[in-house]
Amino acid sequence: MRTEPAIALDFGLKRVGVATATGGVITARKHLPARAGLPEWAELDRLVQDYGPQVLVLGCPPDPDPGFELALKRFRKHLKGRYGLAVETVREHLTTREANAWLREQRSTGELGRRARKGEVDSLAACLIARDWQENEA
Contact 20, 27 (CB under 8 A): yes
Q: Is 26 left (phi over 0), alpha (psi -120 to 50) or beta?
A: beta
Q: Is 36 left (phi over 0), alpha (psi -120 to 50) or beta?
A: left
User: pLDDT (tens digit, 9 = 90+) per residue, 17-43?
Assistant: 999 999 889 999 988 999 988 998 999
In this predicted structure, what is the pLDDT of residue 113? 47
Burial 93-120 (b: 16+ CB within 10 A, else e): eebbeebbebbeeeeeeeeeeeebeebb
In this predicted structure, what is the pLDDT of residue 104? 61
Q: What average pLDDT is seen over the chain? A: 85
What's the mean pLDDT in 89-107?
66
Query: Taking 90 as the threshold, does the pLDDT of residue 53 lie above it?
Result: yes
Which residues are CB-neighbours of 131 under 8 A, at least 6 positions away?
Answer: 26
Domain definitions of the chain by residue range? 6-135
CA distance 9 to 129: 8
Query: Taking 70 as the threshold, does the pLDDT of residue 119 lie above it?
Result: no
Question: What CATH class has 6-135?
Answer: alpha beta
In this predicted structure, what is the pLDDT of residue 26? 93
Confidence category of residue 95, pLDDT binned at 50, 70, 90: low
CA distance 69 to 67: 5
In this predicted structure, what is the pLDDT of residue 120? 74
Q: Higher-confidence residue: 95 or 84?
A: 84
Query: Taking 60 as the threshold, does the pLDDT of residue 114 lie above it?
Result: no
φ and ψ at residue 10, rounded to 5 degrees: -100, 100
Q: Higher-confidence residue: 106 or 86?
A: 86
The segment with the largest mean pLDDT, out of 59-63, 65-69, 82-86, is 82-86
